[in-house]
Structure formats: structure tokens, C-alpha cells
Structure 1
Amino acid sequence: MPVGVTVDVNAGVARVITRKSSRKVANVLAGGNTARVAVCQVDGGRWATLEGVAEVCTDAAVVEDAVARYGQRYGRTPAPDPERVVLLISIERAMGQALRARPRTAQAAA
């Protein structure tokens, strides 16, 4: 299922807001302290994947911060939800590909 992900590069953390009753939360809790996850984004020929270990956080201040980051990233703030939690992903590996303009060759420029 698609999710919105925010990334704090300096902290090495990705955040996903969700509900306590979601399958995502159940999967992370089943993994204990070593719940390995991957989040991906695809946009045409560009893509990014972040891998790491996730934990479920219910702390109100952390959830509020994650909702604010989501609002900044996606331009809309979700409605309040007392069941909201945040998945904190400690990023261990980041992969991706961005399309670049190919350099023009002398023959193509002629």
C-alpha cells in the first residue's frame, strides 16, 4: 500500500505516519527490535529506495513532529487522528537513480 515518507538526511531517519491498527504497524511489531523495512518511490525513470530498521513510536510529540513534516513535504496536513503513530526508520542504505540529460556528442551537436 502506498505511503507518504519524509526523510531527515542529517538524522538518518525516515518517517511514515499511520494508524496503530495498520498492517504496517503489525508487521513492524512482529519483527521486534530488528524489523527490517524498505520504502520506495518511483517517478518515471527516477526511483529511490531506503532500507533500514523500523520501530513504532506512539510519543505524542514525535507523532506531531512527523505530521508536521508530512504537511511540509506533501502540502497538506492530515486530519487529527488519536490512533496515529509514526514508524521511525533508521536508514542503513539508500539507493536510487535520477535521470540526467545526456551530454551532447560533437556529431549530435552538428
Structure 2
Amino acid sequence: MSMSDAARGTVVALTAATEAFLTENQHLGTLTTIRENGTPHVAPVRFTWDQQAGLVRVMTTVTRQKARNLLGAGGARAAVCQVAGGDWITLEGAAVVSTDPERLREGIRRYTRRYWAPPPQPPGLAVIEITVDRVLGLR
């Protein structure tokens, strides 16, 4: 797998095998954010990978700890890691929490396509978008 410099506006490039691994529907991942006290918060999540935009999307609500960690920290970063057997990949980058209807629709559309069912849609629905600028993995 290779990675380009996202800070210059280029998109992360992954191998075909890594792309396939990130789009298989049965996999869950973990999302790591940092609490206000500096300790990591790791939560199991379903997520989607958008190669063209270089974005990971995680559906959540604004009241969940993962969203609160990101909302409370300007310039916050997050990481999603997916593991299956001995294969793993971690996607890291700047993260934002959005309740914008267009961004929510895109997050819901991609989630539904990957997991074959729409996500729960409780009050306060939000999407975490991670602009990936670092990729680590073993495939």
C-alpha cells in the first residue's frame, strides 16, 4: 500500500487488496479518539471507506463519547483499525463531527451499501469524517 501527502490535497492510494479488505461487509473496526484528559477512548464501530474523497465515515450521535472527544478538541485526530485474522489496516487523520444533512445522507448511503442495512437513526445523528493522511497495515 502507498500513501500520498493528504496535507497537499492528494488522495491516499491503496492497493486493490487493501481496498477490497476495507469494503468487505462483515468487518467491524475500532475507532480511537482522545479524551479530554489525554487518555485513548477505543470503541467498536462500523465504518466506510471512500477512496475518492480519502474519507473514513463513522455514524454516531453527538452525545456519544467518541463524538464528544472530537467536538471538544480543535484539530482532533482519530484512527480506525480493522482486523481480520492476521490482516489489519489502520487509517488515521484529522476528524470532524457533522450533522449536515447532505453529509449524513452520504454517510447513511455508504453504511447501507457496506452493511446491507441502514444504521440506527436516533436523535442527534452525526457522522464522523476522518480525512486520512496516514495508513499503517499488514496485508
TM band (smaller chain) = 0.7 to 0.9
Structure 1 gaps, min length 5: 99-110
Question: 2 CA distance for matches of 1:64 and 1:82?
Answer: 15
Question: 2 CA distance for matches of 1:36 and 1:8?
Answer: 18
Structure 2 gaps, min length 5: 1-42
Runs of 4+ aligned structure 1 residues displaced above 3 Å come to none
**Could you give the per-residue CA deviations for residues 69-97 of structure 1, whole angstroms, max 9, x where no partner exists?**
00111111123333110011110111211
Query: Where does residue 65 of structure 1 map in the other structure?
Result: 106
Query: Where does residue 9 of structure 1 map in the other structure?
Result: 51
Deviation at 1:20, TM superposition (A): 1.0
TM-score if structure 2 supplies the norm length?
Answer: 0.66
Query: Where does residue 107 of structure 1 map in the other structure?
Result: none
Greater relative contact order (Cα 8 A, min sep 6): structure 1 or 2?
1
Query: Where does residue 37 of structure 2 map in the other structure?
Result: none
Q: Say which of 77, 82, 95 aligns to 2:118.
A: 77
Larger Cα-atom Rg: 1
Do the aligned residues in 1 keep the contact of 2:77 with 2:93 (CA within 8 Å)? Answer: yes
Matches within 5 A, 1:19-98: 19-32=61-74, 34-98=75-139
Question: 2 CA distance for matches of 1:71 and 1:89?
Answer: 19
TM-score if structure 1 supplies the norm length?
Answer: 0.83
Q: CA RMSD in A?
A: 1.1
Count matched residues.
97
SS at match of 1:11: coil
